[in-house]
Chain A
Amino acid sequence: MKTRLLEAADIEKSFGENAVLRGIDLSLSTGEILSLMGPSGCGKTTVLRMVVGLIKPDRGQIFLFGKKIEGSEDDESVIELKKRIGIVFQGGALFDSLNVGENIAFPLRYCLGLLDEEEIGKRVSDVLEQVELPGTESLMPAELSGGMKKRIAIARALVHEPDILLLDEPTTGLDPQTARHIDRLVSEIGKRRKLGILAVTHDLVTAIGISDTILLMDQGKITWRGTPEEWKTSEDENVRRFANGLRPVREGRTVCP
Protein backbone atom coordinates (compact mmCIF):
# COMPACT_ATOMS: atom_id res chain seq x y z
CA MET A 1 0.00 0.00 0.00
CA LYS A 2 1.26 3.42 -0.90
CA THR A 3 1.69 5.98 1.83
CA ARG A 4 1.41 9.71 1.21
CA LEU A 5 4.81 11.16 2.08
CA LEU A 6 4.53 14.75 0.96
CA GLU A 7 1.65 17.03 0.18
CA ALA A 8 1.74 20.69 -0.74
CA ALA A 9 -1.52 22.57 -0.99
CA ASP A 10 -2.04 25.97 -2.61
CA ILE A 11 1.50 27.20 -2.01
CA GLU A 12 2.23 30.82 -2.76
CA LYS A 13 5.47 32.71 -2.44
CA SER A 14 6.66 36.15 -3.48
CA PHE A 15 10.08 37.76 -3.25
CA GLY A 16 9.31 41.44 -3.06
CA GLU A 17 7.06 42.28 -6.01
CA ASN A 18 7.97 39.08 -7.81
CA ALA A 19 5.36 36.32 -7.33
CA VAL A 20 7.41 33.14 -7.72
CA LEU A 21 4.81 30.51 -6.76
CA ARG A 22 1.13 31.05 -7.43
CA GLY A 23 -0.94 28.21 -6.01
CA ILE A 24 1.15 25.04 -6.26
CA ASP A 25 -0.45 21.68 -5.39
CA LEU A 26 1.47 18.44 -5.45
CA SER A 27 1.72 15.13 -3.62
CA LEU A 28 4.26 12.33 -3.44
CA SER A 29 3.80 8.74 -2.26
CA THR A 30 6.13 5.85 -1.46
CA GLY A 31 7.84 4.38 -4.50
CA GLU A 32 6.74 7.27 -6.70
CA ILE A 33 9.07 9.39 -8.81
CA LEU A 34 7.73 12.83 -9.53
CA SER A 35 9.51 15.22 -11.89
CA LEU A 36 8.90 18.92 -11.59
CA MET A 37 9.85 20.38 -14.92
CA GLY A 38 9.85 23.83 -16.37
CA PRO A 39 11.98 26.60 -17.79
CA SER A 40 14.70 28.29 -15.70
CA GLY A 41 13.32 30.72 -13.15
CA CYS A 42 9.80 29.28 -13.08
CA GLY A 43 10.00 28.46 -9.33
CA LYS A 44 10.92 24.74 -9.36
CA THR A 45 13.83 25.01 -6.95
CA THR A 46 11.78 27.25 -4.65
CA VAL A 47 9.27 24.39 -4.25
CA LEU A 48 12.08 21.99 -3.36
CA ARG A 49 13.64 24.38 -0.87
CA MET A 50 10.24 24.89 0.74
CA VAL A 51 9.86 21.17 1.37
CA VAL A 52 13.05 21.12 3.47
CA GLY A 53 12.16 24.34 5.23
CA LEU A 54 14.82 26.55 3.63
CA ILE A 55 12.09 28.91 2.45
CA LYS A 56 8.75 29.50 4.13
CA PRO A 57 5.60 29.82 2.01
CA ASP A 58 3.58 33.03 2.22
CA ARG A 59 0.37 31.00 1.90
CA GLY A 60 -0.63 27.37 1.75
CA GLN A 61 0.37 24.29 3.69
CA ILE A 62 3.00 21.60 3.44
CA PHE A 63 2.45 18.20 5.00
CA LEU A 64 5.36 15.82 5.52
CA PHE A 65 4.45 12.25 6.49
CA GLY A 66 0.96 13.47 7.26
CA LYS A 67 2.13 16.20 9.63
CA LYS A 68 1.67 19.86 8.87
CA ILE A 69 4.95 21.76 8.84
CA GLU A 70 4.59 24.72 11.11
CA GLY A 71 6.53 26.35 13.90
CA SER A 72 10.12 27.45 13.95
CA GLU A 73 13.24 25.79 12.64
CA ASP A 74 14.24 24.91 16.21
CA ASP A 75 11.18 22.73 16.82
CA GLU A 76 12.28 19.17 17.51
CA SER A 77 9.31 17.80 15.58
CA VAL A 78 10.34 19.72 12.44
CA ILE A 79 13.96 18.62 12.85
CA GLU A 80 12.92 14.97 13.21
CA LEU A 81 10.83 15.16 10.02
CA LYS A 82 13.74 16.72 8.12
CA LYS A 83 15.92 13.77 9.07
CA ARG A 84 13.64 11.54 7.00
CA ILE A 85 14.47 13.54 3.87
CA GLY A 86 17.57 13.29 1.69
CA ILE A 87 18.38 16.18 -0.61
CA VAL A 88 20.81 16.55 -3.49
CA PHE A 89 21.53 20.19 -4.23
CA GLN A 90 22.21 21.42 -7.74
CA GLY A 91 25.97 21.76 -7.23
CA GLY A 92 26.15 18.81 -4.85
CA ALA A 93 26.84 21.04 -1.80
CA LEU A 94 29.51 18.65 -0.58
CA PHE A 95 31.40 20.04 2.40
CA ASP A 96 34.74 21.22 1.00
CA SER A 97 36.60 20.68 4.24
CA LEU A 98 35.56 17.02 4.53
CA ASN A 99 36.66 14.12 2.36
CA VAL A 100 34.15 11.89 0.55
CA GLY A 101 33.91 9.41 3.42
CA GLU A 102 33.32 12.16 6.00
CA ASN A 103 30.78 13.86 3.74
CA ILE A 104 28.76 10.67 3.40
CA ALA A 105 29.12 9.86 7.09
CA PHE A 106 27.78 13.32 7.99
CA PRO A 107 24.05 12.42 8.08
CA LEU A 108 24.86 9.22 9.98
CA ARG A 109 26.60 11.19 12.71
CA TYR A 110 24.30 14.19 12.83
CA CYS A 111 20.89 12.88 11.70
CA LEU A 112 20.99 9.39 13.17
CA GLY A 113 23.51 10.12 15.93
CA LEU A 114 25.59 7.02 15.13
CA LEU A 115 28.83 6.76 17.06
CA ASP A 116 30.09 3.31 16.09
CA GLU A 117 32.90 4.07 13.62
CA GLU A 118 32.91 0.51 12.30
CA GLU A 119 29.22 0.69 11.41
CA ILE A 120 29.62 4.17 9.92
CA GLY A 121 32.51 2.95 7.76
CA LYS A 122 30.49 -0.06 6.59
CA ARG A 123 27.44 2.01 5.67
CA VAL A 124 29.60 4.55 3.85
CA SER A 125 31.31 1.87 1.76
CA ASP A 126 27.95 0.15 1.07
CA VAL A 127 26.38 3.31 -0.29
CA LEU A 128 29.50 4.11 -2.31
CA GLU A 129 29.13 0.66 -3.92
CA GLN A 130 25.54 1.53 -4.77
CA VAL A 131 26.56 4.72 -6.57
CA GLU A 132 29.38 2.80 -8.25
CA LEU A 133 32.22 4.76 -6.67
CA PRO A 134 33.78 2.25 -4.27
CA GLY A 135 37.05 3.12 -2.57
CA THR A 136 36.75 6.89 -3.00
CA GLU A 137 36.39 7.66 0.71
CA SER A 138 39.67 9.51 1.04
CA LEU A 139 39.22 11.83 -1.96
CA MET A 140 38.42 15.49 -1.36
CA PRO A 141 35.46 17.14 -3.19
CA ALA A 142 37.90 19.32 -5.20
CA GLU A 143 39.37 16.15 -6.69
CA LEU A 144 36.03 14.92 -8.08
CA SER A 145 34.53 15.42 -11.53
CA GLY A 146 31.02 16.90 -11.88
CA GLY A 147 29.43 13.48 -12.33
CA MET A 148 31.29 12.03 -9.36
CA LYS A 149 30.21 14.96 -7.19
CA LYS A 150 26.58 14.35 -8.10
CA ARG A 151 26.88 10.64 -7.29
CA ILE A 152 28.61 11.34 -3.97
CA ALA A 153 25.87 13.86 -3.17
CA ILE A 154 23.28 11.17 -3.97
CA ALA A 155 25.17 8.73 -1.72
CA ARG A 156 25.15 11.30 1.10
CA ALA A 157 21.43 11.90 0.61
CA LEU A 158 20.69 8.16 0.77
CA VAL A 159 23.04 6.91 3.48
CA HIS A 160 20.70 7.59 6.40
CA GLU A 161 17.90 5.75 4.57
CA PRO A 162 15.43 8.61 4.16
CA ASP A 163 11.86 8.11 2.99
CA ILE A 164 11.94 11.05 0.59
CA LEU A 165 14.71 11.95 -1.85
CA LEU A 166 14.74 15.46 -3.29
CA LEU A 167 16.88 16.11 -6.36
CA ASP A 168 17.66 19.58 -7.63
CA GLU A 169 18.69 19.41 -11.29
CA PRO A 170 20.44 16.03 -10.90
CA THR A 171 21.82 15.96 -14.44
CA THR A 172 22.50 19.63 -15.17
CA GLY A 173 25.99 20.27 -16.47
CA LEU A 174 26.77 16.60 -17.10
CA ASP A 175 27.56 14.90 -20.38
CA PRO A 176 24.67 12.78 -21.76
CA GLN A 177 26.34 9.49 -20.82
CA THR A 178 26.91 10.49 -17.20
CA ALA A 179 23.44 12.05 -17.05
CA ARG A 180 21.79 8.77 -18.10
CA HIS A 181 23.99 6.94 -15.60
CA ILE A 182 22.62 9.18 -12.84
CA ASP A 183 19.05 8.66 -14.13
CA ARG A 184 19.46 4.88 -14.02
CA LEU A 185 20.98 5.04 -10.55
CA VAL A 186 18.18 7.22 -9.17
CA SER A 187 15.48 5.11 -10.76
CA GLU A 188 16.94 1.79 -9.54
CA ILE A 189 17.62 2.95 -5.99
CA GLY A 190 14.24 4.65 -5.75
CA LYS A 191 12.32 1.60 -6.81
CA ARG A 192 14.42 -0.79 -4.70
CA ARG A 193 14.06 1.28 -1.53
CA LYS A 194 10.49 2.41 -2.28
CA LEU A 195 11.54 6.02 -1.90
CA GLY A 196 9.35 8.93 -2.81
CA ILE A 197 11.49 10.99 -5.18
CA LEU A 198 10.83 14.57 -6.21
CA ALA A 199 13.21 15.61 -8.99
CA VAL A 200 13.39 19.19 -10.14
CA THR A 201 14.76 19.30 -13.66
CA HIS A 202 14.60 20.95 -17.03
CA ASP A 203 16.09 17.86 -18.66
CA LEU A 204 13.25 16.25 -20.57
CA VAL A 205 15.20 13.03 -21.09
CA THR A 206 15.60 12.65 -17.33
CA ALA A 207 11.96 13.47 -16.63
CA ILE A 208 10.64 10.99 -19.19
CA GLY A 209 13.25 8.38 -18.31
CA ILE A 210 12.73 8.15 -14.55
CA SER A 211 9.33 9.59 -13.66
CA ASP A 212 5.98 8.09 -12.85
CA THR A 213 4.43 11.54 -13.02
CA ILE A 214 5.61 14.74 -14.68
CA LEU A 215 4.49 18.18 -13.54
CA LEU A 216 5.16 21.08 -15.85
CA MET A 217 5.59 24.48 -14.24
CA ASP A 218 5.54 27.87 -15.82
CA GLN A 219 5.50 31.29 -14.17
CA GLY A 220 4.84 29.89 -10.72
CA LYS A 221 1.97 27.59 -11.68
CA ILE A 222 1.64 23.95 -12.59
CA THR A 223 0.36 24.07 -16.13
CA TRP A 224 0.27 20.35 -16.93
CA ARG A 225 0.53 17.00 -15.14
CA GLY A 226 0.55 13.47 -16.45
CA THR A 227 2.60 10.35 -17.08
CA PRO A 228 5.60 10.24 -19.47
CA GLU A 229 3.39 8.37 -21.97
CA GLU A 230 0.76 11.10 -21.79
CA TRP A 231 3.50 13.70 -22.25
CA LYS A 232 4.63 12.12 -25.50
CA THR A 233 1.15 12.27 -27.02
CA SER A 234 -0.06 15.46 -25.39
CA GLU A 235 -1.29 18.28 -27.58
CA ASP A 236 -1.29 20.68 -24.65
CA GLU A 237 0.10 24.04 -25.71
CA ASN A 238 2.44 24.32 -22.69
CA VAL A 239 3.82 20.84 -23.24
CA ARG A 240 4.44 21.45 -26.93
CA ARG A 241 6.08 24.81 -26.25
CA PHE A 242 8.46 23.28 -23.73
CA ALA A 243 9.20 20.23 -25.90
CA ASN A 244 9.81 22.43 -28.96
CA GLY A 245 12.83 23.78 -27.13
CA LEU A 246 14.58 20.55 -28.11
CA ARG A 247 14.18 21.25 -31.82
CA PRO A 248 17.40 22.16 -33.61
CA VAL A 249 17.85 25.79 -34.55
CA ARG A 250 18.75 24.86 -38.15
CA GLU A 251 16.42 22.74 -40.23
CA GLY A 252 17.50 19.16 -40.78
CA ARG A 253 19.94 19.06 -37.88
CA THR A 254 18.84 16.43 -35.40
CA VAL A 255 20.35 15.70 -32.01
CA CYS A 256 20.70 11.94 -32.61
CA PRO A 257 22.07 10.31 -35.78
Chain B
Amino acid sequence: MELFRWLGRTAIGFFESLGFFSLFLLKSARGIFRGRWSRADLSKQLESVGVSSIFVVSITSAFTGMVMAVQTIDQFVRFGATNYIGGVIGLSMVREMSPVLTGLVVTGRVGAAMAAEIGSMRITEQLDALQAFGLDEVAFVGSPRLVAGLVMLPLLTIYSFIIGIGGGYLFVVTRGIHSVTFLKSLEALLEPSDIFGGLLKAAVFGTIISTTACAEGFRAGNGAIGVGEATTRAVVWSNMLILAFNYILSTILFGGIR
Protein backbone atom coordinates (compact mmCIF):
# COMPACT_ATOMS: atom_id res chain seq x y z
CA MET B 1 0.00 0.00 0.00
CA GLU B 2 2.83 2.35 0.96
CA LEU B 3 4.52 1.59 -2.35
CA PHE B 4 1.42 2.63 -4.32
CA ARG B 5 1.08 5.77 -2.25
CA TRP B 6 4.72 6.62 -2.93
CA LEU B 7 4.30 5.91 -6.64
CA GLY B 8 1.20 8.07 -6.77
CA ARG B 9 2.90 10.96 -4.99
CA THR B 10 5.95 10.70 -7.24
CA ALA B 11 3.81 10.65 -10.39
CA ILE B 12 1.80 13.67 -9.22
CA GLY B 13 5.01 15.53 -8.34
CA PHE B 14 6.49 14.67 -11.74
CA PHE B 15 3.54 16.02 -13.72
CA GLU B 16 3.16 18.98 -11.37
CA SER B 17 6.77 19.96 -12.10
CA LEU B 18 6.28 19.54 -15.85
CA GLY B 19 3.21 21.77 -15.66
CA PHE B 20 5.10 24.34 -13.60
CA PHE B 21 7.97 24.40 -16.13
CA SER B 22 5.53 24.75 -19.04
CA LEU B 23 3.74 27.69 -17.43
CA PHE B 24 7.05 29.31 -16.52
CA LEU B 25 8.25 28.91 -20.11
CA LEU B 26 5.05 30.50 -21.44
CA LYS B 27 5.39 33.45 -19.06
CA SER B 28 9.08 33.95 -19.88
CA ALA B 29 8.40 33.69 -23.62
CA ARG B 30 5.57 36.22 -23.35
CA GLY B 31 7.87 38.41 -21.28
CA ILE B 32 10.42 38.59 -24.13
CA PHE B 33 7.96 40.64 -26.15
CA ARG B 34 5.66 42.19 -23.55
CA GLY B 35 7.60 42.31 -20.30
CA ARG B 36 10.15 44.78 -19.01
CA TRP B 37 13.64 43.43 -18.53
CA SER B 38 17.16 44.72 -18.49
CA ARG B 39 19.17 44.71 -21.74
CA ALA B 40 22.31 44.84 -19.58
CA ASP B 41 21.19 41.63 -17.90
CA LEU B 42 20.72 40.02 -21.32
CA SER B 43 24.30 40.76 -22.34
CA LYS B 44 25.50 39.43 -18.99
CA GLN B 45 23.52 36.22 -19.55
CA LEU B 46 24.75 35.87 -23.13
CA GLU B 47 28.29 36.07 -21.82
CA SER B 48 27.60 33.71 -18.94
CA VAL B 49 25.89 31.04 -21.05
CA GLY B 50 28.00 31.46 -24.19
CA VAL B 51 31.43 32.98 -23.82
CA SER B 52 32.16 31.52 -20.38
CA SER B 53 31.25 28.02 -21.57
CA ILE B 54 33.64 27.97 -24.53
CA PHE B 55 36.54 26.39 -22.63
CA VAL B 56 34.55 23.53 -21.14
CA VAL B 57 32.72 22.90 -24.45
CA SER B 58 36.09 22.84 -26.24
CA ILE B 59 37.55 20.22 -23.93
CA THR B 60 34.42 18.05 -23.92
CA SER B 61 33.94 18.20 -27.69
CA ALA B 62 37.58 17.62 -28.59
CA PHE B 63 37.88 14.51 -26.43
CA THR B 64 34.51 13.18 -27.56
CA GLY B 65 35.49 13.63 -31.21
CA MET B 66 38.75 11.81 -30.56
CA VAL B 67 37.06 8.94 -28.69
CA MET B 68 34.59 8.58 -31.57
CA ALA B 69 37.58 8.30 -33.90
CA VAL B 70 39.25 5.71 -31.65
CA GLN B 71 36.12 3.56 -31.67
CA THR B 72 35.30 3.87 -35.37
CA ILE B 73 38.77 3.56 -36.87
CA ASP B 74 39.38 0.10 -35.40
CA GLN B 75 36.12 -1.35 -36.74
CA PHE B 76 36.08 0.48 -40.07
CA VAL B 77 39.66 -0.45 -40.95
CA ARG B 78 38.84 -4.09 -40.15
CA PHE B 79 35.88 -4.03 -42.59
CA GLY B 80 37.68 -1.92 -45.19
CA ALA B 81 35.30 1.01 -44.77
CA THR B 82 37.87 3.74 -44.10
CA ASN B 83 36.14 5.94 -46.69
CA TYR B 84 33.24 6.41 -44.26
CA ILE B 85 35.13 7.30 -41.08
CA GLY B 86 34.93 11.08 -41.52
CA GLY B 87 31.24 10.98 -42.38
CA VAL B 88 30.33 8.76 -39.46
CA ILE B 89 32.22 10.92 -36.96
CA GLY B 90 30.70 14.06 -38.50
CA LEU B 91 27.17 12.68 -38.46
CA SER B 92 27.48 11.48 -34.86
CA MET B 93 28.83 14.79 -33.69
CA VAL B 94 26.37 16.97 -35.60
CA ARG B 95 23.20 14.95 -35.01
CA GLU B 96 23.76 13.70 -31.46
CA MET B 97 26.97 14.27 -29.57
CA SER B 98 27.47 18.01 -29.94
CA PRO B 99 23.95 19.16 -29.04
CA VAL B 100 23.58 16.67 -26.17
CA LEU B 101 27.04 17.16 -24.68
CA THR B 102 26.82 20.93 -24.99
CA GLY B 103 23.42 20.82 -23.29
CA LEU B 104 24.65 18.62 -20.44
CA VAL B 105 27.83 20.63 -19.94
CA VAL B 106 26.00 23.97 -19.95
CA THR B 107 23.44 22.56 -17.52
CA GLY B 108 26.20 21.69 -15.08
CA ARG B 109 28.07 24.95 -15.52
CA VAL B 110 25.38 27.55 -16.12
CA GLY B 111 22.03 25.99 -15.19
CA ALA B 112 23.19 25.19 -11.66
CA ALA B 113 24.57 28.72 -11.20
CA MET B 114 21.35 30.25 -12.55
CA ALA B 115 19.17 28.21 -10.18
CA ALA B 116 21.41 29.07 -7.22
CA GLU B 117 21.43 32.78 -8.08
CA ILE B 118 17.67 33.00 -8.51
CA GLY B 119 17.05 30.81 -5.45
CA SER B 120 19.17 33.18 -3.44
CA MET B 121 17.19 36.11 -4.87
CA ARG B 122 14.01 34.34 -3.74
CA ILE B 123 15.08 33.78 -0.13
CA THR B 124 16.55 37.29 0.24
CA GLU B 125 13.30 38.90 -1.03
CA GLN B 126 14.95 40.32 -4.17
CA LEU B 127 12.25 38.75 -6.33
CA ASP B 128 9.60 40.25 -4.04
CA ALA B 129 11.32 43.62 -4.44
CA LEU B 130 10.93 43.35 -8.24
CA GLN B 131 7.24 42.63 -7.81
CA ALA B 132 6.89 45.50 -5.34
CA PHE B 133 8.34 47.83 -8.00
CA GLY B 134 5.47 46.81 -10.26
CA LEU B 135 7.57 44.51 -12.45
CA ASP B 136 6.71 41.02 -13.63
CA GLU B 137 9.50 39.11 -11.89
CA VAL B 138 9.25 36.11 -14.22
CA ALA B 139 9.72 38.33 -17.27
CA PHE B 140 12.45 40.39 -15.63
CA VAL B 141 14.53 37.42 -14.54
CA GLY B 142 13.37 34.62 -16.84
CA SER B 143 13.13 36.30 -20.25
CA PRO B 144 16.78 37.41 -20.67
CA ARG B 145 17.94 33.98 -19.53
CA LEU B 146 15.57 32.27 -21.95
CA VAL B 147 16.88 34.39 -24.83
CA ALA B 148 20.47 33.68 -23.77
CA GLY B 149 19.83 29.92 -23.74
CA LEU B 150 17.96 30.01 -27.03
CA VAL B 151 20.69 31.98 -28.82
CA MET B 152 23.84 30.67 -27.20
CA LEU B 153 23.22 26.92 -27.18
CA PRO B 154 23.04 26.70 -31.00
CA LEU B 155 26.16 28.86 -31.32
CA LEU B 156 28.05 26.73 -28.80
CA THR B 157 26.84 23.63 -30.64
CA ILE B 158 28.22 24.92 -33.96
CA TYR B 159 31.50 25.50 -32.15
CA SER B 160 31.29 21.98 -30.72
CA PHE B 161 30.72 20.53 -34.25
CA ILE B 162 33.97 22.12 -35.40
CA ILE B 163 36.05 21.16 -32.36
CA GLY B 164 34.62 17.61 -32.16
CA ILE B 165 35.10 16.83 -35.84
CA GLY B 166 38.51 18.54 -35.66
CA GLY B 167 39.48 16.27 -32.74
CA GLY B 168 38.37 13.19 -34.67
CA TYR B 169 40.22 14.38 -37.77
CA LEU B 170 43.47 14.87 -35.83
CA PHE B 171 43.32 11.36 -34.41
CA VAL B 172 42.42 9.76 -37.72
CA VAL B 173 45.21 11.41 -39.75
CA THR B 174 47.78 10.36 -37.17
CA ARG B 175 46.64 6.77 -37.74
CA GLY B 176 47.49 6.80 -41.42
CA ILE B 177 44.13 7.73 -42.95
CA HIS B 178 44.56 10.46 -45.54
CA SER B 179 43.00 13.81 -44.68
CA VAL B 180 41.34 14.00 -48.10
CA THR B 181 39.61 10.66 -47.47
CA PHE B 182 38.29 11.98 -44.17
CA LEU B 183 37.07 15.29 -45.62
CA LYS B 184 35.48 13.71 -48.73
CA SER B 185 33.60 11.26 -46.55
CA LEU B 186 32.43 14.12 -44.38
CA GLU B 187 31.24 16.05 -47.43
CA ALA B 188 29.45 13.01 -48.88
CA LEU B 189 27.54 11.98 -45.75
CA LEU B 190 26.81 15.25 -43.98
CA GLU B 191 23.77 17.14 -45.24
CA PRO B 192 22.38 20.57 -44.35
CA SER B 193 19.35 18.87 -42.77
CA ASP B 194 21.70 17.17 -40.29
CA ILE B 195 23.14 20.50 -39.25
CA PHE B 196 19.64 22.01 -39.03
CA GLY B 197 18.50 19.09 -36.87
CA GLY B 198 21.47 19.47 -34.54
CA LEU B 199 20.87 23.20 -34.16
CA LEU B 200 17.15 22.72 -33.56
CA LYS B 201 17.99 20.28 -30.77
CA ALA B 202 20.43 22.80 -29.30
CA ALA B 203 17.77 25.52 -29.27
CA VAL B 204 15.34 23.17 -27.50
CA PHE B 205 18.03 22.22 -24.96
CA GLY B 206 18.85 25.88 -24.37
CA THR B 207 15.19 26.49 -23.62
CA ILE B 208 15.11 23.50 -21.25
CA ILE B 209 18.22 24.63 -19.36
CA SER B 210 17.00 28.22 -18.84
CA THR B 211 13.46 27.20 -17.97
CA THR B 212 14.29 24.49 -15.44
CA ALA B 213 17.02 26.58 -13.81
CA CYS B 214 14.87 29.71 -13.47
CA ALA B 215 11.72 27.84 -12.45
CA GLU B 216 13.50 25.82 -9.78
CA GLY B 217 15.19 29.00 -8.51
CA PHE B 218 11.78 30.66 -8.27
CA ARG B 219 10.33 27.89 -6.16
CA ALA B 220 13.34 27.65 -3.85
CA GLY B 221 12.52 27.96 -0.19
CA ASN B 222 13.73 27.05 3.25
CA GLY B 223 16.95 29.11 3.37
CA ALA B 224 20.32 27.92 2.16
CA ILE B 225 19.18 24.27 2.16
CA GLY B 226 16.30 25.22 -0.14
CA VAL B 227 18.68 26.91 -2.57
CA GLY B 228 20.90 23.82 -2.62
CA GLU B 229 17.90 21.58 -3.25
CA ALA B 230 16.64 23.87 -6.02
CA THR B 231 20.04 23.75 -7.70
CA THR B 232 20.13 19.96 -7.57
CA ARG B 233 16.57 19.68 -8.90
CA ALA B 234 17.36 22.10 -11.73
CA VAL B 235 20.34 20.03 -12.87
CA VAL B 236 18.51 16.70 -12.57
CA TRP B 237 15.41 17.94 -14.41
CA SER B 238 17.43 19.64 -17.11
CA ASN B 239 19.54 16.53 -17.78
CA MET B 240 16.51 14.23 -17.81
CA LEU B 241 14.56 16.50 -20.17
CA ILE B 242 17.54 17.00 -22.48
CA LEU B 243 17.97 13.25 -22.88
CA ALA B 244 14.23 12.64 -23.28
CA PHE B 245 13.80 15.42 -25.84
CA ASN B 246 16.93 14.26 -27.64
CA TYR B 247 15.29 10.89 -28.16
CA ILE B 248 12.01 12.47 -29.31
CA LEU B 249 13.70 14.91 -31.67
CA SER B 250 16.06 12.25 -33.07
CA THR B 251 13.08 10.05 -33.81
CA ILE B 252 11.23 12.87 -35.54
CA LEU B 253 14.18 14.41 -37.39
CA PHE B 254 16.33 11.41 -38.24
CA GLY B 255 14.21 8.35 -37.50
CA GLY B 256 12.25 8.29 -40.73
CA ILE B 257 9.10 9.80 -39.21
CA ARG B 258 8.05 12.74 -41.39
Q: Is B15 an interface residue (CB 8 A)?
A: no
Q: Is B58 an interface residue (CB 8 A)?
A: no
The stretch that binds A, out of B88-96, B121-129, B188-196, B215-223, is B121-129
Q: Which residue of B lies closest to A74 (CB)?
A: B136
Contact status of A54 and B36, CB under 8 A, knowing A93-B124, A93-B126, A95-B126? no
Q: Is A100 an interface residue (CB 8 A)?
A: no
Residues of A within 8 A of B44 (CB): 97
Q: Is B133 an interface residue (CB 8 A)?
A: yes
Best-surrounded residue of A49, A80, A85, A110 (most CB of chain B within 10 A):
A110
Q: Is B132 an interface residue (CB 8 A)?
A: yes
The SS class assigned to the B binding surface is: helix
Residues of A within 8 A of B136 (CB): 73-74
Assess whether A79 is in contact with B131, with CB atoms less than 8 Å apart: no
How many residue pairs link A and B with beta carbons under 8 A? The number is 52
Assess whether A93 is in contact with B129, with CB atoms less than 8 Å apart: yes
Interface string of A77-98 (1 = CB under 8 A from B): 0111011010101110111110
Residues of B within 8 A of A80 (CB): 134
Assess whether A93 is in contact with B128, with CB atoms less than 8 Å apart: yes
Residues of A within 8 A of B183 (CB): none
Size category of the B interface is 10 to 19
Interface size in chain A (residues, C-beta < 8 A) = 25
The 6 closest A-B pairs by CB, nearest first: A79-B134, A82-B134, A93-B125, A93-B129, A89-B125, A52-B132
Assess whether B129 is in contact with A53, with CB atoms less than 8 Å apart: no
Query: Could you tell me the distance between the alpha carbons of A111 and B132 in the complex, rounded to whole angstroms?
Result: 10
Residue from A74, A91, A97, A111 within 8 A of B133 (CB atoms): A111
Assess whether A89 is in contact with B128, with CB atoms less than 8 Å apart: yes
Best-surrounded residue of B120, B125, B131, B134 (most CB of chain A within 10 A):
B134
Q: Is A106 an interface residue (CB 8 A)?
A: yes
- Considering only residues 127-147 of chain B, those with a C-beta below 8 Å from chain A are 128-129, 131-136
Contact status of A53 and B131, CB under 8 A, knowing A73-B136, A74-B136, A110-B36? yes
Query: Which residue numbers of B lie inside 8 Å of A, CB to CB?
Result: 36, 41, 44, 117, 120-121, 124-126, 128-129, 131-136
Contact status of A83 and B134, CB under 8 A, knowing A96-B120, A110-B36? yes
B132 CB to closest chain A CB, in angstroms? 4
A96 CB to closest chain B CB, in angstroms? 7
Residue from A73, A85, A91 within 8 A of B124 (CB atoms): A91
Q: Is A220 an interface residue (CB 8 A)?
A: no
Q: Is A107 an interface residue (CB 8 A)?
A: yes
Q: What are 29 A-B contacts with C-beta separation under 8 Å?
A: A49-B128, A53-B132, A54-B131, A54-B132, A74-B136, A82-B132, A82-B133, A82-B134, A83-B134, A87-B129, A87-B132, A91-B125, A93-B124, A93-B125, A93-B128, A93-B129, A95-B121, A95-B126, A95-B129, A96-B120, A96-B121, A96-B124, A97-B41, A97-B117, A106-B133, A107-B133, A110-B36, A110-B135, A111-B133
Residues of B within 8 A of A85 (CB): 132
Residues of B within 8 A of A73 (CB): 131, 136
Query: Could you tell me the distance between the alpha carbons of A97 and B126 in the complex, rounded to whole angstroms?
Result: 11
Residues of B within 8 A of A53 (CB): 131-132
Residue from B117, B124, B126, B133 within 8 A of A110 (CB atoms): B133
B165 CB to closest chain A CB, in angstroms? 37
Residues of A within 8 A of B125 (CB): 89-91, 93
Residues of B within 8 A of A111 (CB): 133-134
Interface string of A95-117 (1 = CB under 8 A from B): 11100000000110011000000
Residues of B within 8 A of A106 (CB): 133
Q: Which residue of A lies closest to B131 (CB)?
A: A54
Residues of A within 8 A of B135 (CB): 110
A214 CB to closest chain B CB, in angstroms? 24
Assess whether A96 is in contact with B133, with CB atoms less than 8 Å apart: no
Q: Which residue of A lies closest to B127 (CB)?
A: A93
